[in-house]
Structure 1
Amino acid sequence: MDTPSKQVKRRRVFHIPGYDPMPPRRYRELYRSESQTQAEISGYQIDVRARATDATFGWIAGAKIDDQTVLARVDVLVWSDIVRDSMAQSILATYWQLLQTAWIYISTGTLRRLMWMRKGPVIAALYPVGMLLLQLVAALGIGAFLGNTLQAGLVWLGAVTGVQVIAVALGWLGFAVKYVLWGAVTVFLLRWFKSKDSKLFAHYLMHDYAFSARGAGKIPEALDTRMAQFGDMIAAAFQEDVDEVLIVGHSSGAHLAVTVLADLIRADKVPVEGPELAFLSLGQVVPMVSFLPRATRLRTDLAFLSTQENITWVDVTAPGDGCCFALCDPVAVTGVAPPGKRWPLVISAAFSQSLTPARWKALRRRFFRLHFQYLCAFDQPKDYDYFQITAGPLTLRARYQGRPPSKSRIDVVASKYRNVLAE
């Protein structure tokens, strides 16, 4: 890395969430509560107040850290409406998505290659498939049992009457009712399972993986348009009186940020004499997309961004997060690392060390909660503190100057598809 730059007094932060249908308000409330907790633990001051515009939703964070006063404006770049639209599927359509998504990942060999690196996120990807199939089997089985039971009851009743006409009529009625009840119970139970998805996450995760796999890695048109708008908003921040423009990409938001930033730099919208540009990717799942056959644009952007001098890119994951590709260098494992590769700096948030044993024990089985831990307070933080990064006096480059990558990072080529666009 180059020489650390000046300290930060004003910062613009743009947060790109993952595949999340929830309104962006939740991110503000999470930041507000967790920043106060972290400030009490680490001995600094931070105050959060709400703000919103027509295009974004965010907050202002004022902090005093190491006797330095910093003002940070944080904007959530919203695409939750696109997520909700993609989730507006019937139950039948969800099962069709299951078949399509499974076929794409299995037939292309992508699933097998992803498992070479980390089994955790692949198991997470298989979970909705198994859960949805289990729900279908359970619904069909219970429906069949009740239908057969009612049919047997009607046949028995016909036999008891001793009247052949009645027996035949009840036999035919039982036959018809059996399948009507079977279908009705199956539909009822599948709808009931879906109503409990806030706890089961089967439909949500299925829509998530289907969205990533749709087009075999090609960016959907609606999302592509929204990402261009994100780029315009970020570009405007470079004209403001700030010291750093920091982009945070969480989960699926990380690979969106890669393309947004690559497009910005190619278009010369990042001034040489201006605020520093920094990119913090958290809990990334880049290989889920970059390993797909038509993810050529993402692979090209990964290769391009990894060589740029006018950006600092730090990738933070943790082996304890089973929903991410922990310590996998997204450029290297995709097989597009060019000569002169600089980024990302891959480091671990080390949940098992940065959380107290009691806290780690309470969280380690809460897989989805752990996937958001990067945005939360740590009981005994090491060198990763989300709130000091976003509201502290050091640029991302200065904070991690000289920091070696985690020794256990994975940087071997694993992707079958490595083609990129011609420059």
Structure 2
Amino acid sequence: MGAEQAQTGQAQEVRHRRVFYIPGYDPIHPRRYRELYRKEAAEQARISGYDLTLTPAPKGANYGWHATGRMDGLETQADVAVLVWSDIVRGSMDSSIPATYAQLFRTAAEYIGSGALWRLMRLRKGPVIAALYPIGMLLLQLMIALLLAWGVFALSRSLPPVGGITPVLGAALGVVLGGLLLRWFKKKDGRIFAYYLMHDYAYSAQHKGANPPELEARITTFTDTIAEALRTDTDEVLVVGHSSGAHLAVSILADLIRSGRVPETGPTLAFLSLGQVVPMVSFLRNAHRLRADLAYLSARDELTWVDVTAPGDGCAFALCDPVSVSGVAPADKRWPLVFSAQFTRSLSPERWKALRWRFFRLHFQYLCAFDAPLDYDYFRITAGPITLATRYAGRPASASRIDRAVSKFTSTAP
């Protein structure tokens, strides 16, 4: 029985909710998230027997939409906004082929040289394999291009000069063809994702886990946006951090609470982290800021923090308590509540079979419909009549979670 069904008959807590969705490292326009929500909400409503409709949101600083949920005879209004940092992502991906290979060697040196990679492998192998994939794929592409260049040069040496093509010109031609092949590989990266993933990991590693200045500035802007929502006449402010967006949300909410901008009599503040990859950053030597924010947020009573992952998601650190594994859990730690979305039980066998090898699609399943939802339903959470705190009150953490300290670096100050 799902949490919502178990609480049928409870008084409505939320008539209006503000939802702030923080995406991961994604260069694409945020309209993709509106379309995903629209499509998957309709499917989940059909499966679960409730009603959820979307209408456009008024134009503002953040891209978003309005959702009206009618569940268990109660109506809830939700204003959903995407906190956009895709422009920063696009800027970080604007690298030449040689620059990308330079990123590859610097990033590999940081994760391997610091020992972070080996410790990450003690958590979950899936996301570590995902991190190694772009390195292996890009090196394979480089090897193929070099073999092509060498083959053209060797052919020019083995044949009598034809049309004035000497070995020197053959070598030059080989270099040109090898370069064109690398450009072709990059053009096809929309299917391979090697460059995309390389830029993703390189962005976190470039300052060894510290936030680049442009990201710190955006965190400040997002903090101000959420602080403003907490001063409005709404019932719940829900922050959703997905993938890399989860560790941004940690710092945003830590800054928000530290600055005293959570009113005692204001809306309920809630944080839902989905498919998080926090250890990929918090395990790096200079991630002092993130580790400090994790420790601080985990002990606060101004919010409820629920962390949902799934072992079926090979791109996330499934059931890894991001605070504890980072080695910064304080004695009075309260959060997060860590549990699994249980893909293998909440998706039909046919759908699981169709999705299980589509790793990137599964990484977004938290935002999608389930055939047989258990106690996790993204649309009830974002557009339903009860708060995140009430929904999971008394819900035990997953027994198989990993909550031991694993990180080599645990300092919270430079």
Q: CA RMSD in A?
A: 1.4
Residue 372 of structure 2 is aligned with which of 365, 380, 395? 380
Does the residue aligned with 1:401 lie in a helix, a strand or coil? coil
Q: Deviations for 1:344-370, whole angstroms, at most 9, x for unmatched residues? A: 000101111110000000000000000
Q: CA deviation at 1:398?
A: 0.4
8 Å CA contact retained: 2:152, 2:171: no
Q: Specify the alignment match of 2:350 in structure 1.
A: 358
Letter in 1 for 2:79: R
Residue 119 of structure 1 is aligned with which of 97, 121, 125? 125
Letter in 2 for 1:22: I
Q: Deviations for 1:359-395, whole angstroms, at most 9, x for unmatched residues? A: 0000000000000000000011110000000000110
2:23 matches 1:17: yes
Q: Deviations for 1:175-207, whole angstroms, at most 9, x for unmatched residues? A: 112111111111100000000100000000000
Query: Cα distance 1:233–1:269, how it changes in 2: closer, same or farther (>3 A)?
Result: same
Residue 254 of structure 2 is aligned with which of 248, 262, 270? 262
Q: CA deviation at 1:50?
A: 2.1
Distance 1:174 1:144 in 2: 14
Q: CA deviation at 1:104?
A: 0.5
8 Å CA contact retained: 2:269, 2:303: yes
Distance 2:84 2:101 in 1: 28
2:408 matches 1:416: yes
Distance 1:246 1:214 in 2: 31
Q: CA deviation at 1:151?
A: 3.6
8 Å CA contact retained: 1:56, 1:77: yes
Distance 2:166 2:258 in 1: 70
Distance 1:145 1:417 in 2: 46
Does the residue aligned with 1:380 lie in a helix, a strand or coil? coil
Q: Specify the alignment match of 2:337 in structure 1.
A: 345
8 Å CA contact retained: 2:156, 2:167: no
Q: Specify the alignment match of 2:160 in structure 1.
A: 154
8 Å CA contact retained: 2:340, 2:398: yes
2:40 matches 1:34: yes
Letter in 1 for 2:232: E
Distance 1:268 1:5 in 2: 30
- Give aligned-pair identity as a percent: 60
2:197 matches 1:191: no
Hey, which bits of structure 1, 4+ residues long, moved more than 3 A?
none
8 Å CA contact retained: 1:152, 1:174: no
Q: CA deviation at 1:76?
A: 0.1
Distance 1:16 1:268 in 2: 22
Distance 1:122 1:233 in 2: 34
Alignment of 1:158-177 (within 5 A): 173-177=165-169
Does the residue aligned with 1:281 lie in a helix, a strand or coil? strand
Q: Specify the alignment match of 1:203 in structure 2.
A: 195
Q: Specify the alignment match of 1:46 in structure 2.
A: 52
Residue 82 of structure 1 is aligned with which of 78, 82, 88? 88
2:133 matches 1:141: no
Instruction: Answer 1 or 2: which has greater helix percent.
Output: 1
Unpaired runs of 5+ residues, structure 1, are 159-169
Does the residue aligned with 2:219 lie in a helix, a strand or coil? helix
Letter in 2 for 1:130: G
Distance 1:70 1:363 in 2: 32
Q: Deviations for 1:87-125, whole angstroms, at most 9, x for unmatched residues? A: 000000000000000000011100000001101000000
8 Å CA contact retained: 1:5, 1:398: no
Unpaired runs of 5+ residues, structure 2, are 1-9
8 Å CA contact retained: 1:303, 1:331: yes
Distance 1:244 1:378 in 2: 24
Residue 238 of structure 2 is aligned with which of 243, 246, 265? 246
Q: CA deviation at 1:64?
A: 0.2
**Number of matched pairs:** 405
Q: CA deviation at 1:5?
A: 9.3
Deviates more, 1:49-58 or 1:245-254: 49-58
Alignment of 1:307-346 (within 5 A): 307-346=299-338
Residue 277 of structure 2 is aligned with which of 245, 270, 285? 285
Deviates more, 1:260-269 or 1:136-145: 136-145
Query: Cα distance 1:342–1:400, how it changes in 2: closer, same or farther (>3 A)?
Result: same
Q: Specify the alignment match of 1:215 in structure 2.
A: 207
8 Å CA contact retained: 1:151, 1:177: no
Letter in 1 for 2:278: V
Q: CA deviation at 1:54?
A: 4.3
8 Å CA contact retained: 2:12, 2:74: no
Distance 1:78 1:26 in 2: 12
Q: CA deviation at 1:153?
A: 2.7
Distance 2:29 2:355 in 1: 24
Deviates more, 1:196-205 or 1:134-143: 134-143
8 Å CA contact retained: 1:58, 1:73: yes
Residue 58 of structure 1 is aligned with which of 52, 64, 73? 64
Distance 2:290 2:314 in 1: 23
Distance 1:310 1:421 in 2: 24
8 Å CA contact retained: 1:11, 1:71: yes
